[in-house]
Amino acid sequence: MSTLEHTFELESVQKACLDLISQNAEHLIRHIYSHVTEAPYDDSRIRVGLALKTLLRSTDSCETVIVNSDVINPVIHDLTELITKASSSVERRMLTDELTFLERCTQLEELVSLNTRRGY
């Protein structure tokens, strides 16, 4: 006897959803940061968290999405402010780890553009 699944629970739909998010990561992050005066985007923790979730793409996969630095810079700015305002060393360490991850999401893009300018 087979078990019926909702269409949104199908493995192929889950994969397609992750692909959709990764293919539109820059657009999603731009949307978040172009609506910073509107709820829920008016909270820097929510903006950073949504950007991180978008970039992580999946907890099952270690793949990350690489985005242009101009898209990620507002997220880095928010995160830097959160680190400055952190109330404990544990919180600062956790936020610093998130910052390191964000920087890795742009590092490859910057290396590619650097190599392109050099003619490699």
- Residue 91, pLDDT > 50, answer yes
CA–CA dist 113, 17 (Å, integer): 29
Provide the total of helices (H) and of strands (E) in the chain, helices listed first: 5, 0
The percentage of the chain sitting over the pLDDT mark of 70, rounded to a whole number, equals 81
Model confidence pLDDT, tens digit, residues 1-37: 567 888 888 899 888 888 888 889 899 999 999 999 9
CA–CA dist 80, 70 (Å, integer): 16
Cis peptide before 74 (omega within 30 of 0): no
Give whole-number Cα distances, 112 to 20, 29, 54, 66, in Å: 23, 21, 22, 11
